[in-house]
Chains A and B, each alone.
Chain A
Amino acid sequence: MNIFVLWKPAIEILILWFVIYHIMLFFEGTRAIQVLRGIVILLLAFFVFQNMGFLILDWLLTKLFAISVIAILIIFHPEIRQGLARLGKRHLFGTVLREEELDFILSQIVKASEILSRDKIGALIAIQREDSLTPYTESGVIIDAKVSIELIQTIFTPGSMLHDGGLVVQHGRIMAGGCLFPLTASQDLSRIFGTRHRAALGLSEETDAIVIVVSEERQDMSFAYQGRLHQDVSPGEMLTRIKDIIKIKKENE
């Protein structure tokens, strides 16, 4: 067979692969992955039924897919919107931080959180990991400054323009302040936690970010990661646990 006959299908399959992989990657680690798994199982069942000549099941699944296109658009409306926004802004050649830089940044953030909790000031700080937090920075004000205790304290001081919202740390820099994070719909979260904790948990469900939350009422520090809230942790413990999470993730990669 002429090799030139094969190049077009190969390119088509490669493009399809790229698109499907990025759709799956986008949903990985979020609540939507269960729905996506269900769709993949239905797709496989559809191909099996079609090839085995099960006409009734094939007909039923064909009709189901026709309706499900609209259903998916409605169910995944926020995710699709965010995904398209991310698609255009993805950095192909990003940067990684050296370990000592990472340690310094984390220690500054944790130290600032400790001071804020002592002063009865609430705070919400998201540290970006693999998943981009750029869609969330769009809802706030771009700062793009070095991480420092003083700057974090200033941002969250009551009365400042950006204190009522989340702070996003991206590529080792304070990228934006006053950002809006998605609230969790989880019913498991105790009533004693307010909107700030719901936002921290919500963002950790949607992305792989580590979200530090300081409670002004209880003067405690917590952090949310992968949809779990680690409550009332000491500054030292928080620093160690966040470093561990980042190291474990790096080793897994």
Chain B
Amino acid sequence: MNKAKISVFYRISHWFTYHPWLKVISFLLAVLVWFYVRGEISKFNY
């Protein structure tokens, strides 16, 4: 029983269609966290 390899195109298209909202929310959170940490760091003049 052979297993079929997934094409690169399928992988790229799958990345965009698989849990798109989770990707958007996690991106917003990442930006939020980055700006928060930068703000905290600047308070202490690192």
Contact = CB atoms under 8 A, between A and B. Distances in A.
Question: Do these two chains interact?
Answer: yes
Interface residues of A, number: 30
A233 to B, nearest CB: 26
A43 interface: yes
Nearest to A104: B1
Interface in A108-144: none
Contact of A20 (B1, B6, B19, B26): B26
Contacts of B5: 95
A253 interface: yes
Contacts of B27: 17, 21
B34 A16 contact: yes
A96 interface: yes
Contacts of B33: 16, 20
Interface in A50-92: none
Given A47-B32, A96-B3, A104-B1, A28 B14 contact: no
A216 B23 CA distance: 44
Given A95-B4, A101-B1, A21 B22 contact: yes
B6 to A, nearest CB: 5
B30 to A, nearest CB: 4
A20 B3 contact: no
Given A13-B30, A16-B34, A98 B22 contact: no
A24 interface: yes
Nearest to A95: B3
Contacts of A147: 1
Nearest to A20: B26
A17 B22 contact: no
A28 B22 contact: yes
B6 A94 contact: yes
B2 to A, nearest CB: 8
A172 B3 CA distance: 8
Nearest to B38: A9
Interface string B1-27: 111111000000010011100110111
A-B pairs, 5 with minimum CB distance: A16-B30, A21-B26, A17-B30, A95-B3, A20-B26
Given A19-B30, A25-B19, A96-B3, 14 more contacts: A9-B34, A14-B30, A16-B33, A16-B34, A21-B22, A21-B23, A21-B27, A24-B25, A93-B6, A95-B5, A96-B4, A97-B3, A97-B4, A105-B1
16 contacts: A13-B30, A14-B30, A19-B30, A20-B26, A20-B30, A21-B26, A24-B25, A25-B22, A28-B22, A94-B6, A95-B6, A96-B3, A97-B4, A98-B4, A146-B1, A172-B3
